[in-house]
Chains A and B, each alone.
Chain A
Amino acid sequence: AQSVAQPEDQVNVAEGNPLTVKCTYSVSGNPYLFWYVQYPNRGLQFLLKYITGDNLVKGSYGFEAEFNKSQTSFHLKKPSALVSDSALYFCAVRDMTSGGYQKVTFGIGTKLQVIP
C-alpha cells in the first residue's frame, strides 16, 4: 500500500526565513505526490504535485517541492515565509486504482507556524 509520512507535527519559522515541511513516501511503482494546505475551518487547497519530470516542482503562493527518489522524499519549501503561510500542510500520495478516479492517502499533517 502507498503511504506518506510527515515526521514533524509542527514547524516554527520566523517570518522572512526559508521554510521546509518534510514528507517521505513509500510506494510500489511510480510515485504521484501532492501537497495541500488547509487554513483554519476551511477545506484543503491544492499547492503542487509531482508526476514525472523535473525534481523541483513549483506551485502556488511561492511554494516549491523537491522530489528525491533516492531518499524517497518530497519536501515542501519556500524561500521566505509569510505570517499568512501559517496553516496545516498535508502531503499525499495517489493510490493506484483501476477506476480512473483519484484515491489519495494523506499524511497526518504538519502545522506551520510563522512567527512575526
Chain B
Amino acid sequence: DTEVTQTPKHLVMGMTNKKSLKCEQHMGHRAMYWYKQKAKKPPELMFVYSYEKLSINESVPSRFSPECPNSSLLNLHLHALQPEDSALYLCASSQVGSLNNEQFFGPGTRLTVL
C-alpha cells in the first residue's frame, strides 16, 4: 500500500467551528507532514512529526493544532479559523533516517472558511 489518504476531501466551516482533518498511511513511514497550499503556489510546510513527536512547527498560529496518535495517523485540529486560512491542506509521509527518501502526498483537503 503506497497511498496516503485524507479525509474529508472538502470542508466548509465557519469561523467559530471546530473541525479536524485526518491523514492515514500504512507504508510504515515514521515521518508525517502537514502542508498548506494556496492556489497556484507551492506547498508551505506547517508541521513535521518524527516518530510521533512534533519535530517542526513553522510558527503556525495556535488555531491549528496537530496530533499524531500513532505511527499511521495524523490529525489537524482546527478552531476559530480565519477566511485567509482557506486553502488546500496536504498531508505527506516519508521514511526517516535516509538522505534520499521522497515524500508521499495525500490528495488533500480543500478547506473553505466562511
Contact = CB atoms under 8 A, between A and B. Distances in A.
Contacts of A88: 40
Contacts of B110: 41
Interface residues of A, number: 25
A101 B107 contact: no
B62 interface: no
A102 B42 contact: no
Contacts of B101: 102
A100 B107 contact: no
Contact of B94 (A43, A101, A111): A101
Contact of B40 (A41, A101, A109): A109
Contact size class for B? Answer: 20 to 34
A43 B55 CA distance: 23
Contacts of B4: 43
A36 to B, nearest CB: 8
A51 B42 contact: no
B80 to A, nearest CB: 26
A109 B50 contact: no
Given A102-B94, A102-B103, 14 more contacts: A43-B6, A43-B90, A43-B105, A44-B103, A46-B103, A46-B104, A90-B42, A99-B50, A100-B97, A101-B31, A103-B56, A108-B41, A109-B42, A111-B40
